[in-house]
Amino acid sequence: MDAVSGFVERFAAELAAAGVPRMPARIFSCLMAEETGVLTSAELSERLKISPAAVSGAMRYLTQVGLVSKEREPGSRRDRFRVLNDVWFESLTRRDEVLVRWVRVLKEGEATLGAESVAGGRLAESAEFFEFMITELEGMLDRWKARRGGGVSA
């Protein structure tokens, strides 16, 4: 196993330990280590020694969570998959949108269960925590943009 393959497998293992399914973690790690950040399904299958079906299933997951985008190879019918240089920034930006929806639903749950109930209080505290996270996340992303010179590179 060469050094790059070793890195890909170590990073994938860390992602898997954090809850990312194993095959998407391997594919994401492989794309992160690719100079262009772009590979086709066939290239991923070959590099990781996995089936095209495994690539397909993992890509559904990775595109759904916004870590990878799918695009058409120019002049071809083949799809290729891209990881953006600013993938973590974009991922956290989208996470902010999810948290806003969670706050809305938690507050609806609190109103349904009653703020005076233990369960309603639990939902209210969860909503308050996510509102705090949203504020902190916005500030953190702004500080990151400023650190990177006002913009995030793709």
Residue-wise pLDDT tens digits, 2-13: 999 999 999 999
Strands (E), 7-52: 38-40
Best mean pLDDT range from 48-52, 87-91, 92-96, 144-148: 48-52
With 80 as the cut, is the pLDDT of residue 79 above it? yes
* Total-model pTM: 0.78
Q: How far apart are CA 41 and CA 82, in angstroms?
A: 11
Q: For CA atoms 107, 109, 128, 18, give the dihedral sign.
A: negative
1-40 burial code (b ≥16 CB/10 A, e <16)? eeeeeeebbebbeebbeeebeebbbbbbbbbbbbeebbbe
